[in-house]
Homo-oligomer: A and B are copies of this chain.
Protein backbone atom coordinates (compact mmCIF):
# COMPACT_ATOMS: atom_id res chain seq x y z
CA UNK A 1 0.00 0.00 0.00
CA UNK A 2 0.94 3.61 -0.34
CA UNK A 3 4.11 3.20 -2.38
CA UNK A 4 6.65 4.95 -0.23
CA UNK A 5 9.84 3.37 -1.41
CA UNK A 6 11.00 -0.08 -2.42
CA UNK A 7 12.66 -0.83 0.86
CA UNK A 8 10.55 0.12 3.82
CA UNK A 9 11.80 -0.02 7.33
CA UNK A 10 9.70 -1.22 10.22
CA UNK A 11 8.61 2.23 11.26
CA UNK A 12 7.23 3.22 7.87
CA UNK A 13 5.62 -0.17 7.37
CA UNK A 14 3.89 0.13 10.70
CA UNK A 15 2.90 3.69 10.01
CA UNK A 16 1.18 2.68 6.80
CA UNK A 17 -0.74 0.00 8.66
CA UNK A 18 -1.92 2.55 11.18
CA UNK A 19 -2.84 5.01 8.48
CA UNK A 20 -4.98 2.36 6.83
CA UNK A 21 -7.09 2.06 9.92
CA UNK A 22 -8.38 5.50 9.19
CA UNK A 23 -8.29 5.51 5.43
CA UNK A 24 -9.91 2.19 4.60
CA UNK A 25 -13.46 3.05 5.63
CA UNK A 26 -13.07 6.29 3.71
CA UNK A 27 -11.77 4.56 0.60
CA UNK A 28 -14.54 2.00 0.69
CA UNK A 29 -17.28 4.59 1.07
CA UNK A 30 -15.70 6.68 -1.65
CA UNK A 31 -15.47 3.73 -4.02
CA UNK A 32 -19.07 2.74 -3.38
CA UNK A 33 -20.20 6.32 -3.79
CA UNK A 34 -19.10 6.10 -7.41
CA UNK A 35 -20.89 2.82 -7.99
CA UNK A 36 -21.89 -0.43 -6.32
CA UNK A 37 -19.28 -3.12 -5.95
CA UNK A 38 -18.84 -6.53 -4.35
CA UNK A 39 -16.21 -7.38 -1.78
CA UNK A 40 -13.79 -9.23 -3.97
CA UNK A 41 -14.01 -6.49 -6.56
CA UNK A 42 -13.30 -3.83 -3.94
CA UNK A 43 -10.08 -5.54 -2.96
CA UNK A 44 -8.92 -5.35 -6.57
CA UNK A 45 -10.15 -1.80 -6.92
CA UNK A 46 -8.32 -0.52 -3.85
CA UNK A 47 -5.16 -2.16 -5.09
CA UNK A 48 -5.40 -0.77 -8.60
CA UNK A 49 -6.79 2.67 -7.95
CA UNK A 50 -5.77 3.51 -4.38
CA UNK A 51 -2.42 1.75 -4.17
CA UNK A 52 -3.82 0.03 -1.12
CA UNK A 53 -3.48 -3.69 -0.56
CA UNK A 54 -6.07 -5.25 1.68
CA UNK A 55 -6.62 -8.89 2.54
CA UNK A 56 -9.98 -10.61 2.64
CA UNK A 57 -9.79 -10.88 6.40
CA UNK A 58 -9.71 -7.10 6.49
CA UNK A 59 -12.21 -6.31 3.79
CA UNK A 60 -15.08 -8.64 4.69
CA UNK A 61 -15.26 -7.69 8.36
CA UNK A 62 -14.97 -4.04 7.34
CA UNK A 63 -17.91 -4.31 4.95
CA UNK A 64 -19.96 -6.08 7.59
CA UNK A 65 -19.12 -3.32 10.06
CA UNK A 66 -20.11 -0.56 7.68
CA UNK A 67 -23.30 -2.37 6.82
CA UNK A 68 -24.20 -2.82 10.48
CA UNK A 69 -23.61 0.91 10.92
CA UNK A 70 -26.17 1.33 8.15
CA UNK A 71 -23.71 3.18 5.94
CA UNK A 72 -23.96 0.39 3.39
CA UNK A 73 -26.72 -1.75 2.00
CA UNK A 74 -26.14 -5.04 0.24
CA UNK A 75 -27.98 -7.14 -2.26
CA UNK A 76 -27.18 -10.64 -3.45
CA UNK A 77 -27.00 -10.71 -7.23
CA UNK A 78 -27.22 -14.07 -8.97
CA UNK A 79 -24.75 -14.54 -11.77
CA UNK A 80 -25.30 -16.40 -15.05
CA UNK A 81 -22.35 -18.45 -13.92
CA UNK A 82 -20.50 -18.91 -10.64
CA UNK A 83 -21.34 -17.92 -7.09
CA UNK A 84 -23.76 -15.06 -6.45
CA UNK A 85 -22.12 -11.77 -5.65
CA UNK A 86 -22.91 -9.65 -2.62
CA UNK A 87 -23.12 -6.17 -4.02
CA UNK A 88 -22.73 -3.24 -1.65
CA UNK A 89 -24.36 0.15 -2.12
CA UNK A 90 -23.79 3.31 -0.15
CA UNK A 91 -26.78 4.53 1.87
CA UNK A 92 -27.89 8.11 2.40
CA UNK A 93 -26.30 8.01 5.83
CA UNK A 94 -23.18 6.62 4.24
CA UNK A 95 -23.05 9.53 1.84
CA UNK A 96 -23.42 11.99 4.69
CA UNK A 97 -20.64 10.27 6.59
CA UNK A 98 -18.44 10.28 3.51
CA UNK A 99 -18.94 14.01 3.16
CA UNK A 100 -18.03 14.53 6.81
CA UNK A 101 -14.95 12.39 6.41
CA UNK A 102 -13.95 14.22 3.25
CA UNK A 103 -14.21 17.52 5.10
CA UNK A 104 -12.12 16.24 7.96
CA UNK A 105 -9.44 15.03 5.60
CA UNK A 106 -9.38 18.21 3.54
CA UNK A 107 -9.18 20.31 6.69
CA UNK A 108 -6.00 18.51 7.48
CA UNK A 109 -4.30 18.14 4.14
CA UNK A 110 -5.10 21.08 1.97
CA UNK A 111 -3.80 23.68 4.32
Interface residues of A (CB under 8 A from B): 2-5, 11-12, 15-16, 18-23, 25-26, 50-52, 69, 71, 97, 100-101, 103-105, 107-109
Contact = CB atoms under 8 A, between A and B. Distances in A.
Copies in the complex: 2
Main secondary structure of the interface of A (DSSP, over half): helix
Contact of A23 (B5, B11, B22, B101): B22
Contacts of A2: 104-105, 107-108
A21 B23 contact: no
Given A2-B105, A19-B104, A51-B107, 14 more contacts: A4-B100, A4-B103, A11-B71, A12-B97, A12-B100, A12-B101, A16-B22, A18-B25, A19-B22, A20-B22, A22-B22, A51-B108, A52-B108, A109-B109
